[in-house]
Amino acid sequence: MLRRCSATYCELTPPPRSTIAAAFSPDGRLLASTHGDHTVKIICCRTGRCLKVLTGHRRTPWVVRFHPSSPRIVASGSLDYEVRLWDVTSGNCIHSRSFGKPIASLAFHSKGDVLAVASGHKLYLWEYSRRPPGPLIIALKTRRSLRAVHFHPHGAPLLMTAEVTDPSAPHLLPIAVAAEAGASANPRAHPLPLVIGILYHAGRRP
């Protein structure tokens, strides 16, 4: 239990219009934050100093995640439909891909080689670390917009999703699929996990 709490502001210059999302690096030394000026900022947790400003998104990044074992790699998903992977040391974008709809949520697999991407009514799996990067696999189609996705933290073949729904509407189950968006992929190379769909009622706390 926390017995004493204190807070401090990180000075960002110029001050962004808003801060949308944030995530700690796996070693706890860095913080990545997304902002209304369309940037991702990398902040030193010890000093509060902004170390890098990652630019390239054309609209506000809505979600940011660090690679589970490498503090050098960050993924961000934006309202411009793009997911970008960054090298935070150089500040360069190392991969990018458009998903056709705003990005609501991202999750790295515990091994770090696959990204789950919630975009619109579809949940994608992307083997971004392959050379060249692998095709998009559509793991799930939902009848309502997805809002969150999380892999199991210890690598179990489980993937949790959440979607927005109207409490007065009938509960319809999502459609689990194994379709591939683009070139074919080898299903044995990375078997699709079991997907657990969770309905999140708009206007209510989860």
pLDDT tens readout for residues 21-68: 999 999 999 999 999 999 999 999 999 999 999 999 999 999 999 999
Q: 182: how many CB neighbours lie within 10 A of its CB?
A: 10
Give yes or no for residue 196 having a pLDDT over 90: no
User: Which CATH number does 12-98 carry?
Assistant: 2.40.10.480
Give yes or no for residue 150 having a pLDDT over 70: yes
Higher pLDDT residue, 55 or 170?
55
Give yes or no for residue 121 having a pLDDT over 60: yes
Confidence category of residue 172, pLDDT binned at 50, 70, 90: low
Residue 151 and residue 158 in contact, taking contact as beta carbons nearer than 8 Å: yes
Mean pLDDT value across residues 79-89: 97
Half-sphere exposure of 170 (CA within 13 A, CB side): 2
Q: Is the pTM of this model over 0.75?
A: yes
DSSP strand pairing (82-87 vs 158-165): unpaired
Mean pLDDT value across residues 70-86: 97
As a whole number of angstroms, the distance between CA 130 and CA 190 comes to: 12
Confidence category of residue 181, pLDDT binned at 50, 70, 90: low
Give the full edge-to-edge strand order of the sheet including 82-87: 61-66, 73-78, 82-87, 92-98
pLDDT for the residue 91 = 96
Confidence category of residue 182, pLDDT binned at 50, 70, 90: very low
Domain boundaries, the chain: 12-98, 104-206
Higher pLDDT residue, 78 or 135?
78
Higher pLDDT residue, 89 or 13?
89
